[in-house]
Amino acid sequence: MKSKLFVVSFLCMFLSLSINAQNTEAIVADELQTFGELMDMDLNGGKPFMDVLKEKHIFPHISDRNLEPHHLSGLLLAANGTPHRGDMHNRTAFAPMDVQCITLYVLARTGIYLYDAETHKLKIIDKIDARMKVSEDHSINKAPVILLYVINPDAMSVVKNENLTNYAYLQAGSISQNVFLFCSSEDMATNVILDIKKEEVAKRLNTKATNLLYIQAVGYRE
């Protein structure tokens, strides 16, 4: 009798673990499917600009709580999106001579994504969590979103060699400042990290390590 009860208990436990595993896989699959579907944003309202400037701070300690969909969408639109869909010459970040020399990648728990400003969507590049691999600075590794700034060599073909670095950092700085201002407006946290491990991430992006500039962690304040 005891042996039968043990077998039944074991089978119940096995079935429970199997169901939980399937549910976990379904949740992860669902997150992968919906993470790139960004929302259209209402561009009205918000804090007064001078209040946003006054409250702008670096927050090295960021909560691991996932960003709400409207915050993720607003973040990327503010970073280097276009306020008017289809008008790609009216981006939120400054680009010298309108040369879009920076490609913006998003590192999240569900993968590495490319931000496509024209469609306002995130396109999956690799289904790997690279947040722990991109920097030795463990204070930012648990941030739900890490923005990776990468030089776009195709766009830079029209730029003189002596101006390449200036163009890239000028636009990257404009994007990261937009991110700081958005986070200040939404009472969120952000921090820029210059010391990153470039080689491994560059291989996954099929680019040169020298094209990787820096990262910016974004999330909620702890």
pLDDT at 41: 67
- Tens-digit pLDDT profile for residues 1-56: 545 544 444 444 433 444 344 433 333 334 444 566 787 766 667 788 888 888 88
pLDDT at 58: 80
pLDDT at 27: 34
Least confident piece of the model among 15-19, 63-67, 107-111, 142-146: 15-19
DSSP, res 109? T
pLDDT at 210: 93
Q: How far apart are CA 170 and CA 191, in angstroms?
A: 18
pLDDT at 24: 34
- Tens-digit pLDDT profile for residues 155-166: 888 888 888 889
pTM of the predicted protein model: 0.81
* Residue at token pair 């996954």: 204
Angle at 201 between CA 196 and CA 203, to 5 degrees: 140
Whole-angstrom Cα Rg for the chain = 21
Least confident piece of the model among 50-54, 100-104, 127-131, 217-221: 50-54
- pLDDT mean over 111-135: 92
**Is residue 155 within 8 Å of 99, Cβ to Cβ?**
yes
- Tens-digit pLDDT profile for residues 53-105: 888 878 778 999 999 999 999 999 999 998 776 666 789 999 988 889 999 99
- Tens-digit pLDDT profile for residues 170-195: 999 999 999 999 999 999 999 999 98
Q: How far apart are CA 48 and CA 89, in angstroms?
A: 26
